[in-house]
């Protein structure tokens, strides 16, 4: 199963997604496809996202049972924390474009932003959010 959520995207992308997936709410698309079709649909999102943002969640053989990927400016960024995917939140004024990082199928170097996110998560776990060590 896969779920794609998009915000502030061009109408042509919404139409393209509606061809492949069921739109259960505005901007929320659900379907069941294999890896190749899922990757093709997500590539359509990446190619046509414009100034919008999107997130893809899909079933995967991980501890959580799913994987996530994002595109566009967003306050929530997926971070790998000891092999487990968590979501790190940026401050309101710091919504950033997700840096290009390798996906779950292609191992590679972690981005600088992901490393900073992990440091923030560790600090928040040790001291609590908004507190300094």
Q: pLDDT tens, 44-96?
A: 999 999 999 999 999 999 888 899 999 988 888 888 888 788 888 888 766 55
Tell me if the pTM is above 0.75. no
| pLDDT at residue 27 greater than cutoff 70 | yes
Position 115 confidence tier, pLDDT thresholds 50, 70, 90 = low
Q: What are phi and psi of 107, to 5 degrees?
A: -65, 150
> For residues 81 and 15, what is the distance between their CA atoms, to the nearest angstrom?
36
Highest mean pLDDT: which range of 32-36, 80-84, 128-132:
32-36
- pLDDT value at residue 10: 94
Exposed/middle/buried for residue 123 (C-beta within 10 Å: 0-12, 13-18, 19+) = middle
| pLDDT at residue 132 greater than cutoff 60 | no
């Amino acid at each position: 199963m896969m779920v794609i959520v998009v915000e502030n995207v061009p109408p042509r992308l919404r139409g393209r997604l509606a061809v492949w997936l069921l739109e259960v709410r505005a901007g929320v698309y659900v379907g069941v496809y294999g890896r190749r079709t899922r990757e093709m649909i997500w590539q359509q999102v990446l190619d046509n996202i414009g100034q919008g943002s999107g997130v893809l969640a899909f079933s995967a053989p991980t501890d959580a049972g799913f994987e996530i990927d994002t595109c566009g400016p967003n306050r929530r960024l997926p971070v790998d924390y000891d092999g487990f995917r968590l979501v790190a939140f940026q401050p309101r004024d710091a919504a950033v474009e997700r840096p290009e990082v390798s996906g779950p199928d292609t191992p590679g170097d972690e981005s600088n932003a992901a490393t900073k996110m992990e440091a923030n998560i560790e600090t928040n776990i040790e001291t609590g959010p908004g507190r300094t060590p």
